[in-house]
Amino acid sequence: MTGRDEIVERQEDKMIRILLVDDHALFRSGMKSILDEIDGMEVVAEADSGEKAVELVRESPPDVILMDVNMEGIGGIEATRRVLRVAPDVKVIALTALDDMPFPNQLLDAGAVGYVTKGCPADELALAIRRVMRGEHYICNEVAQRLSLSTLVNKGESTPISKLSPREMQVMLMITQGKSTQEISDSLFLSPKTISTYRTRLFEKLGIHNDVELTHFALRHGLIELNG
C-alpha cells in the first residue's frame, strides 16, 4: 500500500463531520436523518443562514458543509467565500433544488468543490461527500449535463446573466428577497451608495427599470422560486 493510499484509508475510517446549511427546518431534518444513516458520516451542526454558518465554522470547523444556494441574507455564494476565508480546509458542497440555474460556475469560483441537487439519491450524496474528502471535485450528473448543454448552446453568445459579476448577482438576489438598500449594505459591509451603484448597473445590463421587473427576470431564469 502506498503512502497516499494509507492517507485515503485513514480519511475514510474517520467520521466525517457535516454542517447542514439551509433555511428550511423540515429539509434539514430530513437530510440529517438520511446522513446519520450513512456509515462514517455525522451531522454535527445546522444553520438556517449563511451568516450563522460562518459563525459556527469560526467556533468549530466541520469537515464538509452542505450549503443551500438560495437563502435570504448573504446567500450561499457569499457564505462559501466567507467560510473558506475562516477555514480554508473545509469542503463546501453546494446544494440546491434549482438544478438549471446558472450558479455552478460562480459557486466553484467562490471555492465550492461540489454541486448536487436536493433531489439526488442518498448514495450519490454520500459519493459526493466522500469524493470531496479525497480532494476531488464532484458535480452531480444532471447538473454536469446541463452545464455541458448550456456551454454548447451559448458558446460565443452573451446571455443577460453572463454579463453579471458575482457581486451583482448577489445584490440582485437580495433585492428580489425584498431587502432594502440599507439592509443589503449592512449584510455585505458595503456603503449604501455602493449598493445603489450596483442596482443601477444591474438595471442597465439587464435592460430593466425597477425592482418588480428584476424579480420577474429572476423568476423567468430560474434564479429564484415562487413561494406558494
Length of the chain: 228
Does 145 lie in the same domain as 166?
Answer: no
Whether residues 146 and 204 share a domain: the answer is no
The pLDDT of 20-45, averaged and rounded, is 88
If asked whether residues 118 and 8 sit together in one domain, one would say yes
Q: Which region holds residue 73: left if phi is over 0, alpha if psi is between -120 and 50, else beta?
A: left
Q: Is residue 225 one of the residues assigned to a domain?
A: no
| Structural domain boundaries, residue 20 | 3-150
- Write down which residue in 110, 127, 150 finishes a domain: 150
The answer as to whether 76 is a domain residue is: yes
142 and 208 assigned to the same domain: no
What cell was used for 82? 466567507
pTM here is 0.62
Cβ–Cβ under 8 Å, residues 138 and 127? yes
In angstroms, the CA 144 to CA 165 distance is 22
Spatial separation of the C-alpha atoms in residues 148 and 195, rounded to whole Å = 33
Query: Does some domain include residue 18?
Result: yes
Indicate if the pLDDT at residue 120 is higher than 90: no
In a domain, 155, yes or no: no
**pLDDT in the model for residue 76:** 83
Q: Which of 123, 150, 177 is the last residue of a domain?
A: 150
CA 36 – CA 129 distance, rounded (Å): 13
Return all residues near 122 (Cβ < 8 A) that are at least 6 apart. 34, 37, 38
134: pLDDT strictly greater than 50: yes
At 64 the pLDDT is 93
Let me know whether 104 and 50 are in one domain: yes
Q: Is the same domain home to 165 and 68?
A: no
| Residues 176 and 68 grouped into a single domain | no
- The confidence score (pLDDT) of residue 89 equals 92
| Angle at the Cα of 114 from the Cα atoms of 108 and 115, rounded to 5 degrees | 90
Work out the average pLDDT over 117-144: 80
Regarding whether 68 and 21 lie in a shared domain, the answer is: yes
Residue type, 108: L
In the chain, the number of structural domains is: 2
* Domain-located, residue 176: yes
- Minimum mean pLDDT range among 163-172, 200-209, 218-227: 218-227
Rounded Cα gap, residues 224 and 221, in angstroms: 8
* Average pLDDT along the chain: 78
